[in-house]
Amino acid sequence: MIASPVLILGARSDIGKALARGYAAQGCEVILAARNDIAADATDLALRTGVQARAVLFDVTDGEPDRFFEGLGAIPGTVVMVAGLLGDQAESAAVDAAAQQVMDSNYNGPARYLLAAARRMAGVPGGCIIGISSVAGERGRASNFVYGSAKAGFTAFLSGLRNAHARAGLHVMTVKPGFVRTQMTAGLKLPPAVTAEPGQVADAIIRAHRARRDVIYTLGRWRPIMAIIRAIPESVFKKLSL
C-alpha cells in the first residue's frame, strides 16, 4: 500500500521528476517541493494523469523544517527525500563554505526535514519515509570523501530512524542508486554497466516501497561490488586511486 499524498522533497531533480510521474501513475496525490517555482510541472502532471498535484517552495538548507510542514496543509502519507548536492571534492577540500554546502545539502538538511516529517507521521496508515543516500557513503574515497561522508551519515541516520519507528508502523527505506545519468552527473564519465536512468531508479523505489523493503540498491549489481569494496583492507585501500 502506498500512502498518499506523496511529498517529494527535491522534485526539480531528474529523479524527483521521474518519481512524481511514477507515483501519479499509481493514482497517488503528489506534492512537489523544490527551491524554484514548479507550479507548471504540477499542473502538467495533474493534466496528464488526472491526479491531484501541487507545488510548494522548499530549500533543504533553510533550517526551518517545522515551519515548512506546518505550512503544508496536509500530513503526508509518504515522504521522499531526493534533495542532495554532489559538489566538487577539490573545492570542498579547499573552501569551507563549499564543504558546508555539501554537508548541509546531503546530511544536515535532509536529516532535520525527515525528523520533522516523522514527528507528524506517527499513526499514518501505511506511512513511509524514503531517503536517497548513495553507495559513496559506504567507504570514504579520496575522490569524493566530503560528499561520501555526508551520505554515510545520512545512511546511518535512516537506519536509526527506521529502528526508532518500526514498532509504531512508520516504515523507513534507504535507497542507494549508484551512478545515475542526471543533470547532476552531466560531464562525468559514467560506466554504462552500473549506470541507471532516472526512470529506472523511480521504478525500483516504487516497487520496493510497495514491498516495504528496508535498504535497496536500485541496480542489484551494486550489492556485490560494494561488498568487495568494503572488504579491501585499509592498508591496501588507501593506496588505490578511487
Which residue numbers are catalytic?
147
Q: Do residues 25 and 75 make contact, with C-beta atoms less than 8 angstroms apart?
A: no
Q: What is the DSSP letter of 192?
A: G
> Are residues 139 and 225 in contact, defined by beta-carbon separation less than 8 angstroms?
no
Closest CA to 74 of 169, 161, 4: 4
Contact 99, 92 (CB under 8 A): yes
Q: What is the DSSP letter of 105?
A: I
Task: Return the C-alpha cell found at 41.
Answer: 510541472
- Decide: residue 199, CB within 10 A, 0-12 exposed, 13-18 middle, 19+ buried: middle
The stretches of 122-192 forming alpha helices (DSSP H) are 145-165
